[in-house]
């Protein structure tokens, strides 16, 4: 059956369609446009969202867990609960993200996450690949990643990860200054992995060498990065200025001050900025103790910490979009792009845009950006 979804506006998000209709059949978009030009087929079921806005489903490139479940230790039932939570906050596509752990634990997690990628849960957010964060990180900027679980980048270890994940590694965070990093970045890029620069104490020179080797993205800008200096801009200066890099940020007002989020958005612009959550299993759970991979973390309010250091977040992506609007004064249309098309494009995912033949993954928002409803492959989540 054809379902016609109507709303005051539709964000593709590359264009805005006023008084819009979106036609869906068998989980796919069949047509979209203004109601004055696109007739609703006879017999179609109509879902009218009145003054609300239809936008592509959100894409979270960096998430360790939510709703009490950690992606490295998750059961099938736990994954379904987490993916339902994500859908409730507008997310239809995500990259489950690892944290540095003992090698055998990482390999087991990659195998399980490959299963999650190959066996999506109906009517929920779906894993579109894996984000490998660690172990190729700087000891100087490792954050809460245990130093004993870090490793120098090597083709042999990357191959172990690749085989365990059955080729589903979509993104990998690497500190470019480490010996062997450029060789691994080049090899991973040839496999279709998006290499992201982060947890790094790199100079500008080392960062530029990594871009030449194939790196195209930056992980949680400002956090776990060499600070900006006016004589040695380092990795941060390069990330903010180099147009070859897209970059993401945790816009929760805790990891990065609101004024610095605004600076980031103005520097990278509406085309290259990406919003992520870096959420842990604590997201949606309130205060308490939770897991981040093998680590115990504690939540008080909006702060998720381990031994006094920030350890991921409790942010949701719908809140990040609203924060971008509030922190930088951006309108909904620009802010939505950061969590949809930009994110998908940064990770080379076929998601984040509404067009004929695309998956019917979309979110219905109020004009202020609050989630009304989420539709995953044509099903209301």
Residue among 237, 239, 264, 238 nearest 250 (CA)? 264
In order of 81, 294, 381, the CA distances from 71 in angstroms are 12, 11, 20
DSSP 184: H
Distance CA 167, CA 162 (A): 5
Report the catalytic residues: 278
Give Dmax (Cα) for the chain. Answer: 67
**In the beta sheet, which residues pair with residue 305?**
298, 310
Give the C-alpha separation, 269 to 360, whole Å: 27
- Smallest CA-to-CA distance from 87 within 367, 366, 362, 369 is with 362
**C-beta separation of 321 from 335 below 8 A:** yes
- DSSP string of 126-149? EE-SEEEE-SS--STT-TTS-GGG
- Rounded Cα distance between 257 and 252, Å, is 8
Using DSSP, state whether 55 is helix, strand or coil.
Answer: strand
DSSP-assigned states of every residue in 199-234: SB---HHHHHHHHHHT--EESSTTTTBPPP-SS--H
329: number of Cβ within 10 Å? 10
Which strands, in side-by-side order, build the sheet including 273-276? 130-133, 169-174, 194-197, 217-218, 246-250, 273-276
Contact 247, 268 (CB under 8 A): yes
């Amino acid at each position: 059956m054809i379902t016609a979804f109507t709303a005051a506006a539709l964000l593709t998000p590359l264009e805005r369609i006023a008084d819009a209709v979106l036609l869906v059949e068998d989980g796919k978009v069949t047509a979209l446009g203004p109601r004055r030009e696109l007739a609703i087929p006879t017999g179609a079921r109509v879902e009218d969202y009145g003054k609300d806005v239809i936008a592509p489903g959100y894409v979270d490139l960096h998430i360790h867990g939510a709703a009490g479940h950690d992606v490295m230790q998750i059961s099938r039932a736990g994954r379904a609960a987490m993916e339902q939570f994500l859908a409730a906050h507008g997310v239809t596509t995500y990259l489950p993200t690892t944290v540095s752990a003992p090698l055998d634990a990482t390999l087991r997690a990659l195998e399980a996450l490959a299963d999650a990628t190959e066996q999506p849960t109906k009517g929920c957010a779906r894993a579109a690949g894996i984000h490998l964060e660690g172990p190729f990180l700087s000891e100087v900027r490792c954050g809460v990643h245990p130093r004993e679980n870090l490793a120098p980048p090597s083709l042999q270890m990357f191959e172990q990860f690749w085989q365990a994940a059955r080729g589903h590694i979509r993104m990998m965070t690497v500190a470019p200054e480490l010996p062997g990093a450029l060789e691994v970045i080049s090899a991973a890029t040839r496999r279709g992995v998006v290499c992201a620069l982060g947890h790094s104490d790199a100079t500008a020179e080392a960062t530029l060498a990594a871009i030449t080797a194939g790196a195209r993205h930056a992980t949680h800008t400002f956090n776990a990065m060499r600070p900006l200096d006016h004589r040695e801009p380092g990795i941060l200066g390069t990330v903010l200025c180099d147009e070859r890099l897209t970059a993401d940020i945790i816009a929760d007002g805790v990891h990065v001050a609101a004024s610095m989020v605004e600076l980031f958005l103005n520097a990278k612009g509406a085309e290259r900025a990406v919003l992520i959550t870096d959420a842990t299993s604590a997201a949606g759970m309130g205060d308490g103790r939770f897991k981040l991979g093998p680590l115990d973390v504690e939540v008080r309010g909006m702060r998720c910490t381990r031994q006094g250091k920030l350890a991921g977040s409790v942010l949701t992506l719908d809140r990040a979009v609203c924060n971008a609007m509030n922190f930088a004064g951006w309108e909904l249309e620009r802010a939505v792009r950061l969590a949809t098309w930009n994110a998908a494009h940064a990770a080379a995912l076929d998601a984040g845009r509404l067009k004929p033949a695309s998956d019917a993954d979309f979110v219905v928002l109020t004009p202020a950006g609050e989630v009304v409803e989420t539709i995953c492959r044509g099903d209301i989540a």
